[in-house]
Chain A
């Protein structure tokens, strides 16, 4: 068996977590093969595992089955990178409990790749979605890689933003990499696996379960150089990632919101506690001494009445009625201008009758 296959065995023993696994390997002088070959008595003598875990270890030592399972995963095009592998991201090793093995669909993170985590609420507002996208585009334009969790809302917007600029992006999942969760993100999932990768520490086939998601957040935090929060409530999974990031000494950035806005409360608190306030991509890039590069702006000309309507559209959704009231135009004219601008791609509708700016 190869080295990665031994690690694959170790990473998949029921009841043995990554922390215990690593302690066991250390007890055997860092040699995972020795652990595999060791007699039951010797493993027990380390006093690291209890009776049940010991049984589990002994029982799982089945070369045929391990090799069979390993080949199965490989045949799906999924790469298994063990902690000893040279491709294993170094930054993960600073974690208290680094994943023993990583499963990756797509390409591997490069050693010199600069990653920024862009995270936020699933149930985000259109403001949060727009800002996530805009920042992700800025990161991608500057050559940085966006890492996030492929969840609904902000995460998806960040991935799409990076893809739009032709940048690389990684998604860390809380389920097996062969499972697309949430299911409606199927197109995003395919795009990410082509222009970056899908990463998970959970073996392929693992169903998404609530408790797995906070744990994957530590991988996002560890992979990234800085963590940007676009929208977060006071108590949310997003802030768990930030917590991990702080423990690892990462830079924290937050996008401000209105003080009465529950979705921005987490962000505003972070800023109060010392996180860097972000209004544009350069605010993040400056911190790392990277020059912000202008990303593609739409070069679109508007006629006079369109300009009037455009001026009354912002990041907060506005309805045609409101715009008619603000501009004093007939509602039919407003509608005509809205539709023509939506076709030009500079605004878009949230729901059916509410329009926001594309930034």
Chain B
């Protein structure tokens, strides 16, 4: 566009004002931002207002340079950019593209009507190329909710946006391409995702590990099967080298695949955390997170100036595996208490208050004592006090929230040297999937999805037991000195066991098995007297 044409345009248009739409990410939810630009006469000046954080203020330089390098010449004028609403703190580099587009529009390189009903996000590089940003999925979902019909995102992130139905998403590479696309001189294909293929693929990407790798340890495998079927929080307790971590790492192989909605839900979290890789696409297999025990409470719960999801949110709909739980700081352990119950976590910071989903299944692995060999007193040299102290590092309230407790014992030499025919993950998965289907049917139309989520007041309704079972529960309650909470927990686990075998009613066998895996009581662990 030559200078004459430009002057002509300026004269033609009474005002040089333009509006574009962008978004900022706050935690996991995104907020729509309107970028307003006004170009007027006066001393050359370029300023941006609207409660901006440092990285958004820096956009000024990025945008001006990128626009020039993309081949557009901006006459020296007085340019004011306003990002509204003005009371929302703008952070991140998502608005670069919308600012550039607004400036170019105000200078007349694009017509305003081309920008109506279009949401633009992306970071600009000085050479005019568009770089990836975090949280695209969340932004596109928000855009759909607000009825925006077109989203323009960095080409690298296009696959995320494409996952959302009923909205056109275009991935662009450079600023020049954007202007061409908007003016109709350049064709860009709307991004598209083949959901079926994506979901199918998920199974194939699983690492080559299998439950049949573990010889013997049948109670442990059975326990994990129950845990997977009802998403019960589980604790594995046993000496070092018994195969606790090995088994926990194989847990994803027996978890049922995710539905498309779950995929979106989980991918949205990963997108906000900046963990969605273009090379890997959306998250289609259940997350398995295993943070090291040096992780802080903030690393687990999420946080930061502008809160980012932590490990418990990244494990949403999947497994949070905490190896050596006793070594975690007590703050890190306690932070999980509330999310375990509610399935979400609220992070409050000065600049934002964010809620992250945290519907994870906790799998913890611990040693029974400091030396690791209790209750084998021939090997264990800990005193009862030391044992109780060691277990006592996990507070009783947290312990109470764990449904299944599996004691893992050292592998016997016979099991190692003469491996018997072990069940493969595939066979276990079939049973787990069947149990999940039963739960889906049972909880249709309610807030529940798994047996483990049942609220105590609903346990009586969903876990009905007959006369014989009631009598058995009464004896168990007295014999093991249970609390009301553990009573309900046993019923919930028994419900899952019954689902696994496809029974509609809970039998005494199911209850016995649930009792076997019942919560470990810190009061009696390590108590050596002969009262029993």
Given A319-B219, A339-B516: A188 in contact with B378 (beta carbons within 8 A): no
- Are B532 and A332 within 8 A (Cβ)? no
- Are A156 and B479 within 8 A (Cβ)? no
Q: Does B405 contact A (CB under 8 A)?
A: yes
* Interface residue tally on A, bucketed by range: 35 or more
Residues of chain B from 510 to 532 with CB closer than 8 A to chain A in the complex: 512-513, 515-516, 520, 525, 527-532
- Are B218 and A324 within 8 A (Cβ)? yes
- Are A343 and B378 within 8 A (Cβ)? no
Q: Could you tell me the distance between the alpha carbons of A153 and B384 in the complex, rounded to whole angstroms? A: 10
Q: Does A219 contact B (CB under 8 A)?
A: no
Q: Looking across the interface, which residue of chain A has its beta carbon closest to that of B405?
A: A352
The stretch of A25-33, A81-89, A95-103, A124-132 in contact with B is: A124-132
Q: Does A160 contact B (CB under 8 A)?
A: yes
Q: Looking across the interface, which residue of chain B has its beta carbon closest to that of A319?
A: B409
Q: Does B200 contact A (CB under 8 A)?
A: no
Q: Which residues of A contact B508 (CB under 8 A)?
A: 336
Q: How far is the CB of A63 from chain B (nearest CB, A)?
A: 43
| Across the A-B interface, the 7 shortest Cβ-Cβ residue pairs | A157-B530, A351-B375, A353-B407, A352-B407, A339-B512, A156-B529, A336-B512
Partner of A321, one of B377, B409, B512, B530: B409
Q: How far is the CB of B517 from chain A (nearest CB, A)?
A: 9
Q: Which residues of A contact B527 (CB under 8 A)?
A: 184
Q: Which residues of B contact A262 (CB under 8 A)?
A: 378
* Interface residue tally on B, bucketed by range: 35 or more
- Are B529 and A157 within 8 A (Cβ)? yes
Interface residues of B (CB under 8 A from A): 216-219, 222, 237, 368, 374-378, 383-384, 405-407, 409, 412, 414-415, 472, 475-476, 479, 508-509, 512-513, 515-516, 520, 525, 527-532
Number of A-B contacts (CB under 8 A): 111
Q: Which residues of B contact A185 (CB under 8 A)?
A: 529
Partner of B529, one of A184, A331, A354: A184
- Are B407 and A336 within 8 A (Cβ)? no
Partner of B513, one of A122, A132, A332, A342: A332
- Are B377 and A125 within 8 A (Cβ)? yes
Q: How far is the CB of A34 from chain B (nearest CB, A)?
A: 48
A-B contact list, 29 entries, CB within 8 Å: A122-B528, A124-B377, A152-B528, A153-B529, A156-B530, A160-B530, A184-B384, A184-B527, A187-B531, A188-B529, A262-B378, A263-B377, A263-B378, A317-B376, A319-B409, A320-B516, A321-B219, A324-B218, A325-B412, A335-B219, A335-B513, A336-B508, A339-B515, A342-B479, A350-B375, A351-B525, A352-B520, A353-B407, A354-B375
Interface string of A316-346 (1 = CB under 8 A from B): 0101111011000001110110111011000
- Are B529 and A124 within 8 A (Cβ)? no
Q: Does A44 contact B (CB under 8 A)?
A: no
Q: How far is the CB of B522 from chain A (nearest CB, A)?
A: 12
Partner of A152, one of B384, B409, B412, B472: B384
Residues of chain A from 247 to 277 with CB closer than 8 A to chain B in the complex: 261-263
Most interface-central of A130, A133, A331 (chain B CB within 10 A)? A331
- Are B516 and A335 within 8 A (Cβ)? yes
From DSSP, what is the main secondary structure of chain A's interface residues?
A: helix
Q: Does A161 contact B (CB under 8 A)?
A: yes
Q: Does A123 contact B (CB under 8 A)?
A: yes
Q: Which residues of A contact B384 (CB under 8 A)?
A: 152, 184
Q: Which residues of B contact A154 (CB under 8 A)?
A: 530
- Are A160 and B531 within 8 A (Cβ)? yes
Q: Which residues of A contact B516 (CB under 8 A)?
A: 320, 335, 338-339, 353
Q: Which residues of B contact A161 (CB under 8 A)?
A: 530
Q: Does A218 contact B (CB under 8 A)?
A: no
Q: Looking across the interface, which residue of chain B has its beta carbon closest to that of A133?
A: B530
Q: Could you tell me the distance between the alpha carbons of A15 and B410 in the complex, rounded to whole angstroms? A: 54
Q: Could you tell me the distance between the alpha carbons of A121 and B524 in the complex, rounded to whole angstroms? A: 20
Q: Could you tell me the distance between the alpha carbons of A185 and B374 in the complex, rounded to whole angstroms? A: 21
Q: Could you tell me the distance between the alpha carbons of A263 and B216 in the complex, rounded to whole angstroms? A: 30
Q: Could you tell me the distance between the alpha carbons of A156 and B409 in the complex, rounded to whole angstroms? A: 27
Q: Could you tell me the distance between the alpha carbons of A320 and B216 in the complex, rounded to whole angstroms? A: 11
Partner of A130, one of B222, B377, B409, B530: B530
Q: Does A168 contact B (CB under 8 A)?
A: no
- Give me 16 other A-B pairs in contact (C-beta within 8 A), A156-B528, A320-B218 excluded: A122-B528, A124-B377, A126-B377, A130-B530, A152-B529, A156-B530, A188-B531, A262-B378, A321-B409, A325-B414, A325-B415, A343-B479, A352-B405, A353-B407, A353-B409, A354-B375
Q: Does A348 contact B (CB under 8 A)?
A: yes
Q: Which residues of A contact B525 (CB under 8 A)?
A: 351
Q: How far is the CB of A352 from chain B (nearest CB, A)?
A: 4
- Are A340 and B530 within 8 A (Cβ)? no
Q: Could you tell me the distance between the alpha carbons of A187 and B530 in the complex, rounded to whole angstroms? A: 12
Interface string of A132-167 (1 = CB under 8 A from B): 110000000000000000001110111011000000
Most interface-central of A126, A132, A321, A336 (chain B CB within 10 A)? A321
Q: Which residues of B contact A335 (CB under 8 A)?
A: 219, 512-513, 516
Q: Could you tell me the distance between the alpha carbons of A130 and B407 in the complex, rounded to whole angstroms? A: 22
Q: Which residues of A contact B407 (CB under 8 A)?
A: 319, 351-354
